A and B are shown apart, each in its own frame.
Chain A
C-alpha cells in the first residue's frame, strides 16, 4: 500500500521543483530555442519563396529571350532573302549588259579584221606583181647574158621562123 500512497512531502517538493523548472525554463530555455528555430524556419521559408520567385522571373526572361531570338532570326532570314534577290537581280542585269558589250566588241573586232584582211590582200597583190616583174627581169637578164646563148637563141628563133 505504501507504494501507491502519495507522500505529502514529495507532493510539495515535486510541485515546487516542477513549477520552478517550468518558470525558469520557459524564460531562459524554451523562449530562445523556439524563437530561434522559428526565425530560422521563417528565413528558410522566405529564402525558398524568393528562390521560387526568381525562378519564375528567370522563366519569364527566358521566354522573352526566346521571342526576341525568334524575331531576330526572322529578321535575319528576311534580310538574307532580300539580299539574295538583289544579288540575283544584279547578276542578271550584269549578264545582259556584259553580253551586249561583248557583242559590240566582237562586231568592232570583226570589222577591223575585215579591213585588215582586205588591206593585207591588196598588199599581197602588190607584192606579187612586183615580185613577178622582178622574177621576169631576172630570168630575161640571165637568158641574154652569154653571146652563144643569145646567138643560139636567135638562131633557134630564126630557124623556127624559116621553117615556117
Chain B
C-alpha cells in the first residue's frame, strides 16, 4: 500500500474531481451535491455546461458561463481559463469550502493534472479525493481499448462509485467488482444508484480551511450499510514512530480517518491528522485543552475494516 505522507500544513481550498465515462452519472451526482450542500459553499466546474439541470427555485443569477445559486454555490463552465478562475475564487476573502471538478465524458482525468499541480504548488488548492463513476449497466459494452482506458481511470482514482447498480444483475455487479478489485486495488469501491453515495460520507472528504470539523462523534454511516466506523480516544500520549506505522496501515481498510493527536515527544502541541484515500497529513497546532488527549475516527468499508485489528494496532501506538 502506498501512502503519500505529508507533514506540511494543509493549505488551499480542497478540490474534488468527479470523472467517468459519458452517461455514468456525473451530472446527477453534481446536481445532488449542489442542491444538498448543507450550508457549505461549493464552486463547481462543469465541462458540459449545458447539461447541468439545476432546480429553478435554487438559482439566483445566470450568466453565460456561470450560474450562482441561492445557497452560495457557484457553477462554472470548464471551458474558460480554469487556472485563473480557480485562483480568483481561492483568493477571495471568504474562499469556497471546496471546488468540485466534473471532468468531461471521455477525457482523461489526468489531463487536468498539470493545472492542478500548478494550483497546488501555489497553495491555492489541495487535492482531495478523485471520484470515478462507472456505469454498472453499460460497463463492457465498449471496445477493448476504451474499456481498458476506463479501467486505467478507475485505477488512479481514490473512490469508485459503481453507479446504476440497480440496473445490473447481482451476478454482473459481482463480476465488475471482482475485476475492479484486482485492476484498481488501491481505490475504494461503493455501489450507488443515481449517485446516491451517502452524502455525509462524500462531504466528510473535505476538511474545509475555514470550516474544519474535528470528529467528536462517529460520522453517521447508518444511511449506508456498506460502511462502518471505528473511533478511539485516549489521554495517553502517542509514540510518533509507532503512530506513523499505524497510519501507514490504515489505507488498507479505511476510506477516511481524521483526528486530533498528542505525541509524547512534544506534549504541549496538538496535531490534526487527516487521511483521505492514500494521502495522509499531520498538521501541528497550539494545544487548546491538554485534557483532550487524542481522538481518532475512521470510516471504512464493512468488508475491509476490522475494528479489532485497529484497536490492537492503535494500542501498539500508545506510549508505554
Chains A and B bind each other: no
A: which residues have CB within 8 A of B? none
B: which residues have CB within 8 A of A? none
